[in-house]
A and B are shown apart, each in its own frame.
Chain A
Amino acid sequence: MTSAQPPAPGRELSNPPTDGISNLRFSNHSDHLLVSSWDKTVRLYDASADSLRGEFMHGGPVLDCCFHDDSSGFSASADNTVRRIVFSHGKEDILGRHDAPVRCIEYSYAAGQVITGSWDKTLKCWDPRGASGQERTLVGTYPQPERVYSLSLVGNRLVVATAGRQVNVYDLRNMSQPEQRRESSLKYQTRCVRCYPNGTGYALSSVEGRVAMEFFDLSEASQAKKYAFKCHRKSEAGRDIVYPVNAIAFHPVYGTFATGGCDGFVNVWDGNNKKRLYQYSKYPTSIAALSFSRDGRLLAVASSYTFEEGEKP
């Protein structure tokens, strides 16, 4: 994991997880970094101080994590559980369960709810304030057309990307049905979806080395602005090697964004002017996740094998 100040080289954090990293997040309140991993742990780091502040074991590989505030967070695990972790006490309890591994988790400050997406084709919303136990915390279950691969929140909007290239857009205030149902404008499997910080749309990346920039507003004028671009490809012997784009992260202040792919590169783009601003030098292996800190000063980059070539001993 590194920080992104161009003059200084990236700084790698000590005590990394022992297996692949599934996701990492900066806190909204400080430079704490929460990292979830296939080694069944969630780790809390202080990124500026480069120290490991906590390590929380789970029953199975942890596929996603997010902060609630600086004292607690949530995690989504392949053992089908959704957990809340209280950092200072080192305690965690199970908020609820899905019927299949929980792939994504987000906390919505607007709604005060935890939202999880799972391979059991549902989206669930949980209220973390109640006591634990599924009966008390589950607010609703919303079926999806397919297994959930990625989700992203901005304001009152939730974007869910599933297998089979479907995308559902929800308004958190009315979850009974999606506000919009779309097919991805890319041709292959969706990897990641992230909403723009200004809430006008979302970026969607796929395994075919492309990112599509979409808008929520369905008017002609807005839809005319959408576009897609190719990235994370390598030209070799007359044809391209096409790498999946695993991660997208938006800079909270500038609105520029970074993408990370299986080629081990992180690119930073200016979406408005459609230019690439910068490319960091190559990381040792695929980029698994990206996150900007709340002021945009730091960029956390997780580089670990993402299994795009199957099992390797």
Chain B
Amino acid sequence: MHNKKEACRNFQRGSCQYGERCKFLHVIQQQPKSNAFGFGTQAISHQQQKPNPFGFGVQNNAQSKGANDFGNKQSQFKNTWTRSSASSGAPSLRQPDNQPQATNHRCNDPESCKRIIAEDFEHERPLWKLTCYSHWKNSPCDIVGDVSYEELRAAAYDDAKRGLSLQSIIERERNLLNSKLVEFENFLRNPYRGPAGSAAAQQIPFPGATTIVLSPTTQNTVAPQSNVPPSVSSFSQLGASLNTGFSPGPSVQSNNASGQPTSFSNSAQSSNVFSANNVPSANAST
């Protein structure tokens, strides 16, 4: 063994070519992940002899282990696309209270939770909008009322069989989408909720979700909020201030369905539910 003092950074990244000859110390700060798929584990000592041929090596950050996604893991995949949004605020916020299971997230710091939510909505809105959402992994949903595409499709097929015109099916879907987008907007504005106890209250309103699927919801303004009172009201400590955060009805209405234009794919098909029928003016509800 050489007299090494400093840790070898390449080795920790798994790409040191010198092996034993290396001038720097080959230490592993942490137990490497053993083979999840049962091919034979690599004991720690092996790592010191030969660097991992795939270049993955060990993780040098203790907290990135259980930490999940969001920036840390991203760099370890050789993906051909690059991610421009770093969501840099989020990982550092999470690490302090990040246990491997992370089941005990309490929204003690509403500001940081709000930041997490804002980042998520800014950078990672999925293409499929009719989804539930939780701002913390392993926590119960903040926004409930999940609809899968198969359910939407089954409902559309049923409607068509009953003789509903294509246009009215599209209308119904668009209403559903709008009320969901409104829910997300409201959540973004009033995400604060107290300790986990109040989260339990909003697990209940699933019946609301199924009725939304099968019958057209009334359009915007106050109506969608009355459809989903539990999820919205349990956030805002002020209760009555629901309407203040809500963007004025007409702007959402005329916006048809397009929310954030970049999240939807091209609006080539004009009667596509999720793209604007008219000229995509599309900025109002963001």
Contact = CB atoms under 8 A, between A and B. Distances in A.
Contact of B69 (A228, A233, A242): A228
Interface of B is mostly: loop
Nearest to B74: A230
Contacts of A103: 150
B127 A273 contact: no
8 residue pairs, one from A and one from B, having the closest CB atoms: A255-B37, A310-B273, A189-B131, A198-B38, A163-B146, A307-B149, A185-B137, A307-B153
A244 interface: yes
Interface string A234-251: 111111111110000000
A220 interface: yes
Interface string B79-90: 111111100000
Contacts of A220: 100
Contacts of B274: 309-310
Interface stretch (B21-29, B247-255, B257-265, B276-284): B257-265
Interface stretch (B3-11, B106-114, B165-173, B216-224): B165-173
A311 interface: yes
B246 interface: no
B107 to A, nearest CB: 15
A6 B232 CA distance: 51
Contact of A242 (B76, B125, B130, B157): B125
Contacts of A238: 84-85
Contacts of A271: 36-37
Interface string A266-281: 0000111111100100
A164 B206 contact: yes
A276 B132 contact: no
A273 B166 contact: no
B35 interface: yes
A273 B166 CA distance: 48
9 contacts: A63-B150, A163-B148, A164-B203, A182-B138, A183-B134, A200-B38, A231-B79, A255-B37, A311-B273
B271 interface: yes
Contact of B170 (A163, A273, A311): A311
B132 A163 contact: yes
B49 interface: no
A226 interface: yes
A146 interface: yes
Contacts of A85: none
Contact of A311 (B39, B130, B173, B263): B173
Given A188-B126, A310-B173, 18 more contacts: A147-B146, A149-B148, A185-B102, A213-B36, A223-B100, A238-B84, A239-B262, A242-B126, A255-B37, A274-B77, A307-B149, A309-B273, A310-B174, A311-B173, A311-B273, A312-B269, A312-B272, A312-B273
B56 interface: yes
Contacts of B181: none
Interface string A15-59: 000001010000000000000001000000000000000000000
Contacts of B68: 185, 212, 226-228
Contacts of A96: none
Nearest to B166: A313
Interface residues of A, number: 77
What bracket does the count of chain B residues touching chain A fall in? 35 or more
A260 interface: no
A234 B81 contact: yes
B16 interface: no
Given A196-B37, A228-B69, A242-B127, A165 B52 contact: no
B177 A310 contact: yes
B100 A240 contact: no
Given A225-B33, A226-B66, A235 B73 contact: no
Interface string B153-168: 1101100000000100
Interface string B205-246: 010010000000000000000000000000000000000000
A275 B78 contact: yes
B83 A240 contact: yes
B65 interface: yes
A107 interface: no
Given A185-B68, A242-B125, A164 B132 contact: yes
Interface in A186-236: 186-189, 191, 196-198, 200-201, 206-210, 212-213, 215, 220, 223-231, 233-236
B135 interface: yes
A78 B78 CA distance: 40
B131 A207 contact: yes
A310 B153 CA distance: 7
Contacts of B138: 182-185
Nearest to B261: A237
Contacts of A230: 69, 73-74, 83
Interface string A254-293: 0100000010000000111111100100000000000000
Contacts of B85: 238-240
Contacts of A239: 84-85, 122-123, 262
